[in-house]
Amino acid sequence: MEQSTIKKPFVYIFLFLMTEFFLIMYIFLSNQQWFTITADGKLYLNLAENFVEGHGLINTIRKEDIIVPPLFALFLAPFVLLFKSEAPYFIFQYILYGLNSLLLFVISIKLFKSKAIGVLTTFMYAVHPVILLNGPQFLLTETIFITFILIVCYLSILWLKQDSSNYFYYLMIILSLSLLFRPHLMYVFGIVLVYHIWLVVKKKLKIITAAAYLIPLLFLLLNGLHNQWLHGEFVLLENYSGQNLYLANNPNTSVEFYASTRIDRFVGPEYETYKDYPLSEKSKLLKEKAIDYMIHNPIETIKRLILKSLLFFKGISVLDWILLFVSVVGWILAFIFDRENRHIHLFLLLFIAGFAGLTSAGLLVGGQRYRTPIIPVYLLYGGFCLLGARLLSKQRQ
């Protein structure tokens, strides 16, 4: 295969500009606004404004005392401090969106050692309809969260290729930070633990490296203490997931995309009895009810999870379906033919499946916003499907 070293910067410049070009054309042709502050965006912006004013990360825009992971608001805070407009932050998001494509390019080369596969993967990222639909034109967490996910994948690949304790420590730090941004990658610690034990048993890592698991515990403890000081509640990350879990898992819920305007399709009369409860207390009680329902109705829960997982991957266009199909085929081909990296391909499959499964266990929203962050990971195999098998066969010849 081709060597992974790329010395000429024009390749990166071209890929960056290509990604931005498709995004700009998409926004222009679909008559979207260049800068849109969503309801969630207003919440995080409000937190950042209060933080800059010295009041801490408190919510003064919503009636409910919602507590969210702090990192996104802290990302916004310097822009709130330095500028009177939200435009500079949106510009930052647009730039980061393009840089994410370059990071995906680098990951593809590191994994498959082929510039051609890297370029094709980046092109797929640039034209993917779900990524374009949930892009940097909205003040949402998606763009930065994609950065977190790609860095986690890159460090995981480096760690598993080189059996390096340094990359393992870096991975644990970034994973821990990601929890303070969005808690969705909590499950990855379980996957990492299995691989870590395997490497320790094979004597490729020292057992002392297990001390790295103190890093996420420390981060969570500090954030919990911060919330105790600021809100009077010891909340590790957020105080609303229990409510979402109940909305997705109760006798009256539906297997469809959620929207607050049709909440009656997801809950029964019992839900209304909690409307006057403080959010933290309500979320805790509803979480207990959801878990109790799932335990006592395992077949229905599994059935719903399967149906919602299919909904999670449901394409929004023909192109979306095609890119998903070639990615699935690409993973199969990579696992069969790229024997040297089979353990990495299995890791990435567990990464994707875990993300899809845990997300599907909760609420899904229209536009496939919750699928957006994981798409670049499986697009790695879309590029391999179209070029990788041929390159591997040539290498063997």
**365 strand-pairing partners:** 258
127 pLDDT more than 80: yes
Q: How confident is the model at residue 184 (pLDDT cuts 50, 70, 90)?
A: very high
Is residue 53 scored above 70 in pLDDT?
yes
User: For residue 296, how many C-alpha atoms fall within 13 Å in the half-sphere facing its CB?
Assistant: 8
pLDDT recorded at residue 7: 58
At 341 the pLDDT is 93
Helices (H), 134-181: 142-162, 165-179
Convert 111-147 to b/e letters by CB count within 10 Å (16 or more is b). bbbbbbbbbbbbbbbbbbbbbbbbbbbbbbbbbbbbb
CA angle 253/254/259 to nearest 5° reads 95
**Mean of the pLDDT values across residues 66-80?**
95
Residue 59 near residue 159, CB atoms below 8 Å? no
Say if pTM beats, i.e. exceeds, 0.75: yes
Q: Does 2 have pLDDT greater than 80?
A: no
Mean pLDDT for 112-125 is 94
Per domain, the residue ranges of the chain are 10-396
**Residue 82: closest CA among 71, 91, 94:** 91
pLDDT in tens, 215-243: 999 999 999 999 999 999 999 999 989 99
Q: Which of 123, 149, 75, 105 is CA-nearest to residue 12?
A: 105
Per residue, the 3-state secondary structure of 359-380, as one string, reads: HHHCCCEHHHCCCHHHHHHHHH
> Quick check: 369 pLDDT over 50?
yes
Please state, in angstroms and rounded to a whole number, the distance separating the CA atoms of residues 164 and 260: 46
**pLDDT exceeds 80 at position 368:** yes
Mean pLDDT of 188-197: 96
3-state secondary structure of 138: strand
pLDDT at 1 over 50: no
- With beta carbons less than 8 A apart as the criterion, state whether 287 and 346 touch: no
What pLDDT score does 150 carry?
A: 98
For residue 229 the two structure tokens come to 């000081």
Closest of 261, 264, 257 to residue 366, by C-alpha: 257
Long-range Cβ contacts of 209-213 (<8 Å, 24+ apart): 209/165, 209/168, 209/169, 212/168, 212/169, 212/172, 213/172, 213/189
CA distances in angstroms from 188 to 211, 303, 358, 380, listed in the order given: 17, 24, 11, 19
- The better pLDDT of the pair 272, 346 is held by 346
Mean pLDDT of all residues belonging to the chain:
92
Confidence at 379, pLDDT banded by 50, 70, 90: very high
Supply the pLDDT for residue 84: 84
Separation CA 174–CA 164 (nearest Å): 16
Q: H-helix or E-strand containing 77?
A: helix 71-82
**DSSP code per residue over 297-356:** -HHHHHHHHHHHHHHHT--SSHHHHHHHHHHHHHHHHHHHH-GGGHHHHHHHHHHHHHHH
Question: Which residues face 258 on adjacent strands?
Answer: 365
Does pLDDT of 3 surpass 90? no
* pLDDT exceeds 50 at position 329: yes
Q: What is the pLDDT of residue 389?
A: 61
pLDDT for 261 equals: 82
Using pLDDT thresholds of 50, 70 and 90, give the confidence band for residue 164.
confident
pLDDT tens per residue, range 238-260: 998 999 999 999 998 888 888 88
pLDDT in tens, 128-144: 999 999 999 999 999 99
Tokens 């059996």 belong to which residue? 163
Give the chain's count of helices (H) and strands (E).
Answer: 17, 0
pLDDT at 5: 44
Give residue-wise pLDDT tens across range 353-365: 999 999 999 888 8
Range of weakest confidence among 120-134, 144-158, 343-357, 381-395: 381-395
DSSP state of 185: G
Task: Express as a percent the part of the chain with pLDDT over 90.
Answer: 79
Among 193, 188, 196, 189, smallest CA distance to 163 is for 196
Mean pLDDT, range 309-328, rounded to an integer? 96
- List, for residues 16-34, the tens digit of each pLDDT value: 999 999 999 999 999 999 9
User: Does 78 score more than 60 pLDDT?
Assistant: yes
Mean pLDDT of all residues in 57-63: 88
pLDDT at 268 over 70: yes
Cα(140)–Cα(93) distance, integer angstroms: 10
